[in-house]
Structure 1
Amino acid sequence: MVGKRGPILITCQNPDCTYFQIEDGKNITKNGHNSAGNQQYYCHHCRRFFIETKNTPLYDSRLPRTAVLIIAKHSTEKTSIRGVSRVTGHHRDTISRYYHLIGEHAEKLNDYFIHDISAGDCEMDEIWEFVPKKNKNLLTTDSEELGDCWSYTCFKRDSGLFLAFESGKRNIDTCADMLVRFFNRMELPTPENKISIFTDGNVQYSICLPELYCEPCLDYGQVIKVKEKNKLVYVIREKIMGNPDSKAISTSVIEGYNNKIRQRLSRFGRKTASFSKKLNRFISALNIFQFVHNFIEVKSSHKSPAMLESITDHLWNWSEFLNYHVQF
């Protein structure tokens, strides 16, 4: 006697289907396995087949899943691509390609999961790197995206959630793009439920923030560190908008997380031979780190930052991350 079939959790993964990644109204049945052993499905709406790895980094992979899993785990452990190549035995171009695929997958999941985050204390800062050479070594014929690269980052103080980042030149456009992404991922604050933002003395934030938030809904303060001969002399805590608590005006939390990025991603080292050769690879690495930090790594009480923010109810693992399908 044939047992009752379990529910089909996957949605149609064919982009041309009107029910692409849509849960409600889907009509999908299992249809055996392909030659690689992957489960195959049939969508009755678009009348096309697809396999379970479609739209994941594992799709059309010539490496076994265990090998891809090992490569993925090395992506946030400060190991150079050549180093991973020596450890795994796979060519460096293969490692680089999987890093890029995993980074694109992480970006999709970050956009999918991080939204409607409750108001609270948030810190913002910038972290410097170069792609693939420093500004002083640029030629006049080099692309505009090469040279010094700054990543504007934002973390939520209490949960440690890595909310948003934007990488590019250190200008107001890059700052504005990060703040728009941050704005879209947060709940709209109210005068009764304000959002608090703390940054360093970068004037770009004070120009862009008033365009997104009205003053009754925002408490914004800046930490200005005065140095002489590379030594800290004193710190100024300045209220820019609203009425933030002077003692709460600090960027020490995000400075610690930015240091964690430098410690975990070799391409972020100040003096390194593992620098990024292309900007999109640089962004992919940071997307992977963002997802791993938020969903896979423990923050406190055996919970990840995503669990503390009630984005997910469990601690993710690498296999779940690589196999996850976005659905609406």
Structure 2
Amino acid sequence: MCLNKKCQDFGRKNVGNIIKKGFNAKGNQMFKCKTCGVRFPETKGTVFYNRHLTEEQIIMICKLLVEKNGIRAIERIMEIHRDTVSSLVDDLARHAREVTDFLISNVGLTKVEVDEMWSFVKKKKRKLPEEARKQMDRATAGYT
């Protein structure tokens, strides 16, 4: 689906307007919308978009959150600045449903482990925007 909000096919899935269009410098598949002409990487709209962290590092941070490690502990373990970890936790909250599905199906975490991770995120990030809290509530509702 096209992620350009100005496109007439924005958010519409399986319309046939998205085609593959090469790879970017990081090796991610690029796509192009035939309707509006905008190119975007496969990671656009996900927690992996525009990150200097690898997918493995992001998965490891999720696993460390499941084990109830704090942000500063993750900073020390992963040797990543705490602001980067906090920013990732915020993005995880915004993409809660997709992250939950990914962790259960691709990483092999159990529903209980993912629920523990979201409990930690909620506890540590009480100042999350209302939108992020709603996304987290929707994501965990089907898995508890």
Q: Describe the shift of the 1:25–1:278 C-alpha distance in structure 2 as closer, same or farther (beyond 3 A).
A: same
Q: Describe the shift of the 1:42–1:290 C-alpha distance in structure 2 as closer, same or farther (beyond 3 A).
A: closer
Residues 236-247 of structure 1 aligned to structure 2 (within 5 Å): none
The Cα of 1:34 is off from its aligned counterpart by 0.3
Is the aligned partner of 1:287 residue 2:142?
A: no
Counterpart Cα distance in 2 of 1:293 and 1:48: 34
Identity of aligned residues (%): 28
Q: Describe the shift of the 1:281–1:261 C-alpha distance in structure 2 as closer, same or farther (beyond 3 A).
A: farther
Counterpart Cα distance in 2 of 1:289 and 1:75: 19
Is the aligned partner of 1:42 residue 2:32?
A: yes
1:27 pairs, out of 17, 27, 38, with 17
- 1:279-317 CA-to-partner distances (Å, cap 9, x unmatched) read 217965x928954981xxxxxxxxxx6xxxxxxxxxxxx
Is the aligned partner of 1:52 residue 2:42?
A: yes
More helix by share: 2
Counterpart Cα distance in 2 of 1:279 and 1:261: 19
Gapped regions of structure 2 (runs ≥ 5): 101-111
Moved beyond 6 Å, runs of 4+: none
Aligned twin of 2:63: 73
Contact 2:47 2:92 in 1 (8 A): yes
- 1:1-29 CA-to-partner distances (Å, cap 9, x unmatched) read xxxxxxxxxx2222221112212423121
Contact 1:80 1:266 in 2 (8 A): no
Paired residues, what number? 129
Q: Describe the shift of the 1:261–1:66 C-alpha distance in structure 2 as closer, same or farther (beyond 3 A).
A: closer
Gapped regions of structure 1 (runs ≥ 5): 1-10, 111-256, 269-275, 295-304, 306-328
The alignment partner of 1:90 has SS state of: coil
Counterpart Cα distance in 2 of 1:19 and 1:41: 14
1:101 pairs, out of 82, 87, 91, with 91
Between structure 1 and structure 2, the one with the greater Rg is 1
Counterpart Cα distance in 2 of 1:69 and 1:292: 22
Counterpart Cα distance in 2 of 1:77 and 1:281: 25
More strand by share: 1
TM-score of the aligned structures, taking structure 1 as reference length: 0.34
